[in-house]
Amino acid sequence: MGGVLMILIIAAYLALGDLLGRAFSSDPDVISRVESLIWIICIFQLSDGIQANCAAVLRGLARLGTIVKVNLLGLWILGVPIGAVLAFVLNLGVSGLWWGFVSGLSVSNLLSFYLLARIDWEEESIKAIQNLRNSSRPSSFTDTPPTPSSFITNLTVDEHNNPTLQKNPPKLRSSQSPRTQSASTSPRVRSPQTQSPQAQSPRFDINGSAPVIETNVV
């Protein structure tokens, strides 16, 4: 897709010709100068498109530092000084500046091709699969607290993976306090100092586990 777009832009530059200069100025000198720069601009566009595609591949490999180094070397360390020498020392003018950018991008392209040729794509594919698997796992930090069923499930998985848990399984604490547990498992008897046998009215606990004897004080 990038190559097709690059070819279309180059074709548009060549088709327009001197119309680009006429769109911005009516000076014949400016129009002729812009027309003479079209071929250099087309070469620059070709180099820039190749560099953009190489940078996209390196970005997909998570090598952003490599892209910065390649662009720094090609555009700033080589491109700008070469363009300055061609424009002001060799008196090529604005054409020299454009040729400096073209030369810098060409060096960046050659360096990018060399780096891409040295990449082990099989190893990179394995890393990509591992990253996808790691990103698909649920996060350990959730907005809602874990339910008892999920805790038991995670504990079962950990027991299979951790031999220490198999030998010494953790003890699950009940949510009830000892006082509440003893109260729910033993009958509750209210024994005032004086009571009448006829006033006793036995009934069952709400859980149905033990009878509760209530006595009325006389």
- Asked if residue 81 belongs to a domain, the reply is yes
- Report, as an integer, the average pLDDT of 204-218: 50
- Asked if residue 190 belongs to a domain, the reply is no
Q: Nearest to residue 83, comparing CAs of 107, 67, 52?
A: 107
Is residue 187 pLDDT above 70, yes or no? no
Give the count of beta carbons closer than 10 Å to the beta carbon of residue 95: 16
- Report, as an integer, the average pLDDT of 11-28: 86
Report residue 138's pLDDT band, with 50, 70 and 90 as the boundaries.
Answer: low
pLDDT at 195: 47
Q: Nearest to residue 217, comparing CAs of 198, 195, 202, 191?
A: 195
- Asked if residue 200 belongs to a domain, the reply is no
pLDDT tens digit sequence for 54-77: 999 999 898 999 999 999 999 999
- Asked if residue 77 belongs to a domain, the reply is yes
- Asked if residue 143 belongs to a domain, the reply is no
- Asked if residue 111 belongs to a domain, the reply is yes
3-state SS assignment for residue 202: strand
Number of independent structural domains in the chain: 1
Round the average pLDDT of the chain to a whole number and report it. 75
Q: Nearest to residue 3, comparing CAs of 64, 62, 45, 61?
A: 45
Give the separation between CA 92 and CA 57, rounded to whole angstroms: 35
- Report, as an integer, the average pLDDT of 99-109: 94
Give the domain extent around 91: 2-128
Report residue 207's pLDDT band, with 50, 70 and 90 as the boundaries.
Answer: low
- Asked if residue 110 belongs to a domain, the reply is yes
Residue 218 corresponds to which amino acid? V
Give the separation between CA 180 and CA 187, rounded to whole angstroms: 12
Is residue 142 pLDDT above 50, yes or no? no
Burial class (CB in 10 A: 0-12, 13-18, 19+), 83: buried
pLDDT at 74: 93
Percent of the chain whose predicted confidence (pLDDT) is above 90: 35
Residue 35 corresponds to which amino acid? E
Range with lowest mean pLDDT among 28-32, 121-125, 154-158:
154-158
Give the separation between CA 2 and CA 53, rounded to whole angstroms: 7
pLDDT at 79: 94
Q: For the whole prediction, is pTM greater than 0.85?
A: no
SS3 content of the chain, % helix, strand, coil (to 5): 70, 5, 25
161 versus 59: which is more confidently predicted?
Answer: 59
Q: Which helix (H) or strand (E) holds 206?
A: none
- Residue 90 forms beta bridges with which residues? none
- Asked if residue 141 belongs to a domain, the reply is no
pLDDT tens digit sequence for 33-43: 888 899 999 99
- Report, as an integer, the average pLDDT of 88-116: 94
